[in-house]
Amino acid sequence: MHKTPETYRLFFIYLTLAIIIRIVFWQVPKFDFVSYDDGMYVTLNHHVTTGFTVENIVWAFTAPHFYMWHPITSLSHILDCELFGLNAGGHHLVNLAIHIANTLLLFEVLRRMTKHIWPSAFVAAVFALHPLSVESVAWVSERKNLLSGFFWLLTIAAYIRYVNKSRILNYLLVIFVFAIALMSKPTAVTLPFALLLLDY
């Protein structure tokens, strides 16, 4: 398959963004859990630390988790405990991986909306390295921000697809991904207004 110069540019941007984030956040896997919220979300929550059981999955979908209903976030913490136990480094690495995914997804969404590669890459880089991102990446309890951001951006990507091809399946995909964003953090409820602004 013939690769165009644009394909190489995109690959270079993806790789550069990922490497820059990894360099800036290189210490994150060495961080421990903190006493603020990490206990309630992970280390002292027996539903999370005991891994995937029917009881814990039901709990994630039927009970508020630290005063919020976000089953997707709860399930992600449960999965981390299945994979890493209470080794904080593994939990932090997952946060870092989601942040990288969010940055690349933001770049792709902006590129598709504006058709401009380098300005989109610049905005994605600012998002990736902005100090406001540090808390979400370096604090295990802020997984909900990262997941909500990922599915927020994925909803916009699905909406772009729907605008370009107005099919019922594409519309249902927008609703489905939006629902997952809501199940990651309730503040995603404002996303439909963002879509209205994009249309405007």
| Band (117; pLDDT cuts 50, 70, 90) | very high
Backbone φ, ψ for residue 37 (5° rounding) = 80, -35
Q: What is the pLDDT of residue 39?
A: 85
Q: What is the pLDDT of residue 123?
A: 97
Angle (CA) 102 157 121, round 5°: 50
| Band (120; pLDDT cuts 50, 70, 90) | very high
Model confidence pLDDT, tens digit, residues 5-15: 788 899 999 99
Backbone φ, ψ for residue 16 (5° rounding) = -65, -45
pLDDT > 60? residue 1: no
Token couple for 45: 């929550």
| Band (101; pLDDT cuts 50, 70, 90) | very high
pLDDT > 80? residue 181: yes
Percent of the chain at pLDDT above 70? 98
Token couple for 102: 């969010």
